[in-house]
Amino acid sequence: MDSNSVNPNMINEAVIDLIKKVKSSIHINHVKARCKQQPDIEKIAKVDFVNGDIVTHNDQVAFKLDYKISYKLSLLLDRKGNLIMDFPESLERP
């Protein structure tokens, strides 16, 4: 005898549909603005949704949305390969 009262596939599909609805209401500009609050991130190149799940946080149901954020990062190195921490106002070519 099957002990499931509900088809588990129906539950999984319902969760996936709910995550899609939550994801579609996220304002990507807010996500980008949040990223730009981090030091040294000026421009976000790409934001991709990776995964979503229903979780608990502080004894409440919450939605966890994972994103892959791509951004340009410039490194300034000297000729010995050392990272230069302070970028000059203008860079001169040798």
10-residue stretch averages of pLDDT, the chain, 94 residues long: 77 90 87 79 84 92 90 78 63 53
Q: Where are the domains of the chain?
A: 1-94
Task: Please give the Cα distance from 84 to 75 (Å, whole number).
Answer: 8
Residue 2 pLDDT: 64
C-beta of residue 79 within 8 angstroms of C-beta of residue 72: no
- Listed residue (74, 69, 27, 75) closest to 45, CA to CA: 69
Confidence at residue 93, expressed as pLDDT on a 0 to 100 scale: 53
Are 36 and 45 in contact by the 8 Å Cβ rule? The answer is: no
Tokens of 3: 């002990």
Q: What's phi and psi for 26, nearest 5 deg?
A: -75, 135
